[in-house]
Structure 1
């Protein structure tokens, strides 16, 4: 009788372990393109928990009236200063978060990469980057929120 109970317990433990090892990693891309600003957000999740956020924000200065001559005098340092003047929290060093700035013709590009497995989610919530201060962020709810804001997700 004891060996029967042990066998069921072992079988149940193996089923639980098997369930843990079959987690699925997916990446969903959500885009918005309005008023000369393109925002692309790539969300990587393990099962329904978001583990990485990558955002690429492109602003076409030509759509805002700048010429290529205006842009020729504009540097990546100027671009970083421009983004940081609009969002001062971008200048902070936050573990698990990187920012990059680039110029491409008349386009200004800011990229942000957030590794939620290592980032300080409380600091990100204080900055307004995240709506919550927990690392347990639902992929399904994130997509629903972005679609509600007008993003198209695939």
Structure 2
């Protein structure tokens, strides 16, 4: 009975932990793709939290960004929804922010994720937004 319960627990946890990863079509060239630079600001808010937020592109996991990290992803041109989900027990939980944008081939886009505004009130949410290259380089 003990092994049956342990087996069920492992099965349930592994089923909950599987998420579909984003992968670019191998037949698309770099000039025919839009480049998305995802980055998380370097702030002390949640910097010691072992659970990192999940970044999604149309319900496919792009990355788990710790404080100050970045990830570059190439996508086919088109309309996508970018979202962030806060983890609960190291698994994707509730969506904290999202936006939809049409990405154009050959363009660079800088997607900023920031938790620092969470300190300025009980009802503020995280910030996920498109920013400039200067903000990306300065991690602002």
Fold shared, TM-score > 0.5 on shorter chain: no
- TM superposition score normalised by structure 2: 0.27
**Where is the strand percentage greater, Structure 1 or Structure 2?**
2
Higher-Rg member (1/2) = 1
